[in-house]
């Protein structure tokens, strides 16, 4: 059994009116526990589809072949309810825009506890406990008070940290992060990347990190795979891919960076930069935390978080009925 995620010769085509359109062509990747595998490549090359297929969310009318293994278990052999149990529980996913993964009308606490109770079937009290731990883990301060707030009351960086907290709340083996920092300012981005890196090390996560930004890639990935038109054209250690790219397309991508013409970054930087120094990896250089955020509003002194959840959207009653 290989721990972590292994994708073996994954091909995907979408059936349309004019027949099959090939999207992925024999994609193979392996991400061990405690490792970050980067996946880069131009827009439309198939990065997101690869991530979605791992969690069984490939587009309708997709024809898929190949194998996907999670901690040695064959995910392609799993369907229906069992696949739901894997999605979110054993594989977490974070997307570019946290507003797509966070519900605007539910408190952060309700979203975290719903997720945990759905997947783990624990009591409300234990779910609250886990929700709190999840938020602490991603460096969103504020304790129980934070659980009572709504997503719009947080900054973009905090929202992305909350999305990561939800993705990791059930302690999955694998995290798929699809452009998780692309919508953030550079300084906030650095804080979120450092957070992901520290979680990989502390939780032994296997991370598939998708980005088109080779600077971001160099900050977080151990290995870098380059995708083009649905194929992995190169995959290797970060330093090797950035300093001695084997494929002409990788060389093209590197040449298109601003640093390649004497600007911001050099290849050596990409191969070995440590943008966070030795500081607190969960620390946020912008002070991007709820405690000092002007966005945080006062709340009525209502300690009944569970009560709020049950009046939120009726899902709790439905679940308990």
Ligand X SMILES: Nc1ncnc2c1ncn2[C@@H]1O[C@H](COP(=O)(O)OP(=O)(O)OP(=O)(O)O)[C@@H](O)[C@H]1O
Q: What is the closest distance, in whole angstroms, from the C-beta atom of residue 288 to ligand X in the complex?
A: 25
Residue 96's φ and ψ, nearest 5 degrees, are: -55, -45
Q: Quick one: how many helices (H) and strands (E) in the chain?
A: 14, 10
Whichever of 41 and 92 has its CB closer to ligand X, that residue is 41
Stretch that binds Mg ion, among 48-56, 250-258, 286-294, 306-314 (CB under 5 A): 48-56
Q: How many residues bind Mg ion (CB under 5 A)?
A: 1
Helices marked H in 180-262 — which ranges? 186-203, 214-220, 238-243, 248-255
Cα gap 180→191, rounded to integer Å: 12
Whichever of 4 and 46 has its CB closer to ligand X, that residue is 46
Whichever of 62 and 164 has its CB closer to ligand X, that residue is 62
Residue 43 binds which entry of ligand X, Mg ion, none, with Cβ cut-offs from 5 to 8 Å by kind?
A: ligand X
Residue 23 binds which entry of Mg ion, ligand X, none, with Cβ cut-offs from 5 to 8 Å by kind?
A: ligand X
Distances (CA, A) of 276 to 169, 238, 297: 25, 17, 31
Whichever of 52 and 246 has its CB closer to Mg ion, that residue is 52
Q: Single out the residue of 11, 28, 30, 48 in contact with Mg ion (rule: CB under 5 A).
A: 48
Q: What is the closest distance, in whole angstroms, from the C-beta atom of residue 1 to ligand X in the complex?
A: 29
Expressed in angstroms, the distance from the first to the final Cα of the chain is: 40
Cα gap 230→12, rounded to integer Å: 9
Residue 281 binds which entry of ligand X, Mg ion, none, with Cβ cut-offs from 5 to 8 Å by kind?
A: none
Residue 14 binds which entry of Mg ion, ligand X, none, with Cβ cut-offs from 5 to 8 Å by kind?
A: ligand X
Task: Note the residues at the interface with ligand X (CB under 6 A).
Answer: 14, 23, 41, 43-49, 59, 212
Cα gap 266→211, rounded to integer Å: 19
Whichever of 59 and 258 has its CB closer to ligand X, that residue is 59
- Contact between 69 and 6 under an 8 Å Cβ cutoff? The reply is yes
Asked if residue 182 binds Mg ion (CB under 5 A), the reply is no
Q: What is the closest distance, in whole angstroms, from the C-beta atom of residue 94 to ligand X in the complex?
A: 14
Q: What is the closest distance, in whole angstroms, from the C-beta atom of residue 12 to ligand X in the complex?
A: 8
Question: In 3D, which of 319, 279, 259 has the Cα closest to residue 117?
Answer: 319
Residue 290 binds which entry of Mg ion, ligand X, none, with Cβ cut-offs from 5 to 8 Å by kind?
A: none
Whichever of 23 and 170 has its CB closer to ligand X, that residue is 23
Q: What is the DSSP letter of 148?
A: T
Q: Residues 78-87: contacts with CB within 8 Å, 24+ apart?
A: 83/56, 85/119, 86/55, 86/56, 87/55, 87/56, 87/57
Kindly list the residues in this chain that would bind Mg ion in the complex (CB under 5 A). Answer: 48
């Amino acid at each position: 059994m290989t721990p972590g995620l292994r994708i073996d010769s994954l091909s995907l085509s979408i059936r349309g009116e004019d027949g099959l359109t090939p999207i992925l062509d024999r994609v193979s990747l392996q991400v061990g526990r405690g490792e970050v595998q980067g996946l880069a490549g131009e827009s439309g090359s198939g990065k997101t589809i690869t991530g979605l297929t791992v969690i069984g969310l490939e587009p309708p009318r997709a024809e898929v072949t190949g194998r996907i293994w999670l901690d040695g278990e064959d995910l392609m052999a799993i369907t229906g309810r069992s696949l739901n149990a894997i999605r979110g529980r054993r594989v977490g996913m974070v997307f570019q825009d946290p507003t797509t993964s966070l519900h605007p009308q539910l408190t952060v606490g309700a979203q975290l506890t719903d997720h945990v109770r759905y997947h783990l079937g624990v009591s409300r009290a234990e779910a609250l406990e886990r929700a709190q731990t999840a938020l602490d883990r991603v460096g969103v301060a504020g304790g129980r008070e934070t659980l009572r707030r709504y997503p719009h009351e947080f900054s973009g960086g905090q929202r992305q940290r909350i999305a990561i907290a939800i993705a990791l709340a059930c302690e999955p083996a694998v995290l798929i992060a699809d452009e998780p920092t692309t919508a953030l300012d550079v300084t906030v981005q650095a804080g979120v990347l450092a957070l992901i890196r520290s979680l990989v090390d502390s939780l032994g996560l296997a991370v598939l990190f998708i980005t088109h930004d080779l600077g971001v890639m160099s900050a977080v990935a151990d290995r870098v795979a380059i995708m083009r038109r649905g194929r992995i054209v190169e995959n290797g250690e970060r330093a090797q891919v950035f300093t001695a790219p084997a494929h002409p397309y990788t060389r093209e991508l590197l040449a298109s960076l601003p640093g390649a013409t004497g600007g911001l970054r050099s290849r050596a930087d990409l191969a070995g930069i440590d943008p966070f120094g030795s500081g607190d990896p969960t620390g946020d250089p912008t002070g991007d935390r709820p405690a000092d955020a002007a966005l945080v509003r006062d709340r009525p002194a209502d300690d009944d978080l569970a009560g709020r959840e049950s009046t939120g959207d009726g899902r709790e009653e439905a679940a308990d009925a």
